[in-house]
Copies of this chain bind each other. A is one copy, B any other.
């Protein structure tokens, strides 16, 4: 059993791999969407769920916790009633925007091309 690397993720510990650092922050099917919807400004849990109706609460929670741990976003609890929790991009999170932006633009262009057929 040789070496046992972390599975299902880009192998971060290889510096010769030029995409690894950023990929480890945006990998996951929902991660880029979360970052995208936060790029316009802070947003609450329920609003994010509304933005992405197809994601389950569990998965959204998991992604948010993960991104918080990695320093991409911040989580602030407002002890009101009913309680509200706000998520916002950190400076690190904002550094990822060029990639997300590029993905959005390519998606739009490809979608346009398809509908033009």
Contact between chains at B22 and A8 (CB < 8 Å):
no
A66 to B35, CA, bound (A): 26
Shortest Cβ distance from residue A3 to the other chain B in the assembled complex, whole angstroms: 9
Give this chain's copy count: 2
Q: Is A109 an interface position by the 8 A CB rule? A: yes
Contact between chains at A98 and B107 (CB < 8 Å):
no
Q: Is A38 an interface position by the 8 A CB rule? A: no
Q: Which residues of B contact A95 (CB under 8 A)?
A: 106, 109-110
Binary contact track A1-44/B, C-beta < 8 Å → 1, others 0: 00001001111001101111111001101101100100000000
Interface residues of A (CB under 8 A from B): 5, 8-11, 14-15, 17-23, 26-27, 29-30, 32-33, 36, 52-54, 92, 95-96, 98-111
